[in-house]
Amino acid sequence: MEQPTRSRRSVLGWVEERVSLTEIVSFLSVFGLLPTELDTTKPLKEALAESLRRPLPSYARWPHVLGILSFMLFLFLGVTGALLAFYYQPTAAEAYLSTTAIARDVSMGALVGQAHHWAAILFLAVLLLRILRFYFGALYGKGREIVWMVAILTFVAAANADLTGRLLPWDTRGYWSMVRAREVTDALPGFGPLATFLVGGAGLDSLILTRFYVLHMFVLPAILLVMFYVHFSSVRRVGLSFAVTASRPRPLRVALYDVLLLIVGLFGGLITLSVLWPQPFMSAADPLVTPHGARPPWYLLAPHAVQQVFPGTVPMVVRGLLIEAVFAVILLLPFLVKGDVTGSRRGRFAGVGLAACAAWVGLTALGWWLEVYR
């Protein structure tokens, strides 16, 4: 029993003399996988042991789980996305054929594709839930302004990643949902013309597909990674949440087991969803035939409804400015609310939040319904 232990130690020691392993591992702490700092001056084993003994509320259990869960989904999307990218070809001529080939001919390709799809749905859902928890938990007050804004911007970046990803299979649903989505975003003053300029035109052709591919594969994940970095580093500065004391602090080692359990559950859940409720395969996109009920993705249905329900006398610019104003209010909420949100004030804020949620759900339903009876 002694021999292998000694040899391991010696190998580790040999490497440690040449490379700062502690510094490499401390990289994990940047992305929340290890929520405490590592003392990079100490050898890895010593620094880890010290870190793992540190008491901490488990960040992989409710109510803190949403942050690490969204990051895990992001990693899962990265891994499955990379696997898909081995076979996917981003041209209008080949995109659909290569997507078909992935789903039909590549071993486990359909499963990976479905898992990527489901992870994207859950990713957005978790990010949205996180925003709601921040709001109703009043976790946007003094000191947490950046955390709140980053949560909002992470959702926006994730929605953009979802949007660009929809076009990539070049199938009927993705193509037309993208067409409808661009109708909504292009009509927004300022943002619309800028987005059109950045992607190089209002149409949807092979060049746009290539640009969306680069955005989806490289630019937006990079932005999301930065967002997660800013989030986790600021959370380390300001604490997990004001409710820290409510959770019983335990050694970090225990929290890491919670993370592993979460990974097992998440993996099982995603595979189960993919097998039991697979996304049906659609026909290739036909730019000349609009399928019945083509509508923007769910997160753009509310702006879509706002743009559509006003009478023609209200100019599109005004409708767009209204949407942008609502977004600005949400983004800058911490700066608009003065003082602590506690006691009866918190109840009032919760009421306002519920009303806003109800309005959003109503508008989303309206946006969906508009396309049913058109």
Partner 1 sequence: MSPVRVVPVAAIAAALALLGLASPCAAVMAVPRTLDPSAAAAAHTGSMCGVCHSDVRVEEHQGVHEAEGVACIACHGGDPTATTVETAHRGNYRGKIARKDIPALCASCHSDVAKMRSYNLATDQLELYRTSKHGQRLALGDDRVAVCTDCHGVHEVRATADPKSMVFARNIPATCGKCHGDQKLMGAYGHKDDALAEYKAGVHGRALLEGGNDSAPDCTGCHGSHGATPPGAIDEGRRCGQCHSKVRAAFAAGPHKQELDDQGLPECVACHDMHRTAPVTIALLDTVCARCHRPGTKEAQLAGTFKTMYTQASTDVDEAEKLVAEAARIPLYVDDYRSRLALAHTALMESMPMMHSLDVAQVEPLTRKARSIADEVKGEIQHKLAGRVWRYVGLAFMWFYLVLTAMLLWRARARALARGAA
Interface positions with partner 1 (CB under 8 A): 53, 55, 100, 103-104, 110, 250-251, 253-254, 257-258, 260-261, 264-265, 267-268, 271-272, 275-276, 278, 280-282
Measured in degrees and rounded to the nearest 5, phi and psi for residue 284 equal -65, 150
Select 1 or 276, whichever has its Cβ closest to partner 1.
276
Element (H, E) at 251: strand 250-251
Nearest distance, CB of residue 159 and partner 1, angstroms: 27
Q: What is the CA radius of gyration of the chain?
A: 23
Q: Which is nearer to partner 1, 255 or 341 (CB)?
A: 255
Give the span between the Cα atoms of 367 and 183, in whole angstroms. Answer: 13
- Tell me the closest approach of the beta carbon of residue 315 to partner 1, in angstroms: 33
**Three-class SS state of 56:** strand
Residue with smaller CB distance to partner 1, 279 or 308: 279
Residue 85 main-chain phi, psi, to 5 deg: -65, -20
CB-nearer residue toward partner 1: 29 or 100:
100
132-140 contacts at long range (C-beta below 8 A, 24 or more positions apart) = 132/353, 132/357, 133/63, 133/66, 135/333, 135/349, 135/353, 136/350, 136/353, 137/63, 137/241, 137/242, 137/243, 138/242, 138/341, 138/342, 138/346, 138/349, 139/241, 139/242, 140/333, 140/334, 140/337
What is the biggest distance separating any 2 CA atoms in the chain, rounded to whole angstroms?
85
| Residue 301 structure tokens | 């249905």
Smaller CB separation from partner 1, 227 or 255: 255
Q: Measured between alpha carbons, how far is 7 from 1 in angstroms, rounded to an integer?
A: 11
Q: How far is the CB of 231 from partner 1 (least distance, A)?
A: 26
Rank residues 96 and 175 by Cβ distance to partner 1 and give the closer one. 96
Measured from the CB of residue 17, what is the shortest distance to partner 1 in angstroms?
30
CB of 323 to partner 1, least distance (A): 36
The structure tokens listed for 35 are: 């929520």
Query: CA nearest 25: which of 4, 7, 51, 60?
Result: 51
To the nearest whole angstrom, how small is the minimum distance from the Cβ of residue 257 to partner 1? 4
Q: What is the DSSP letter of 310?
A: S
Q: Please, what is the minimum distance in Å from the beta carbon of residue 281 to partner 1? A: 4
Burial of 305-341, coded b for 16+ CB within 10 Å and e otherwise, reads bbbeeeeeeeeeeebbeebeebeeebbebbeeeeeeb
Comparison of 55 and 193: residue with beta carbon closer to partner 1? 55
Compare residues 276 and 288 and give the one whose CB is closer to partner 1. 276
Distance from C-alpha of 315 to C-alpha of 322, rounded to nearest angstrom: 11
CB of 119 to partner 1, least distance (A): 16
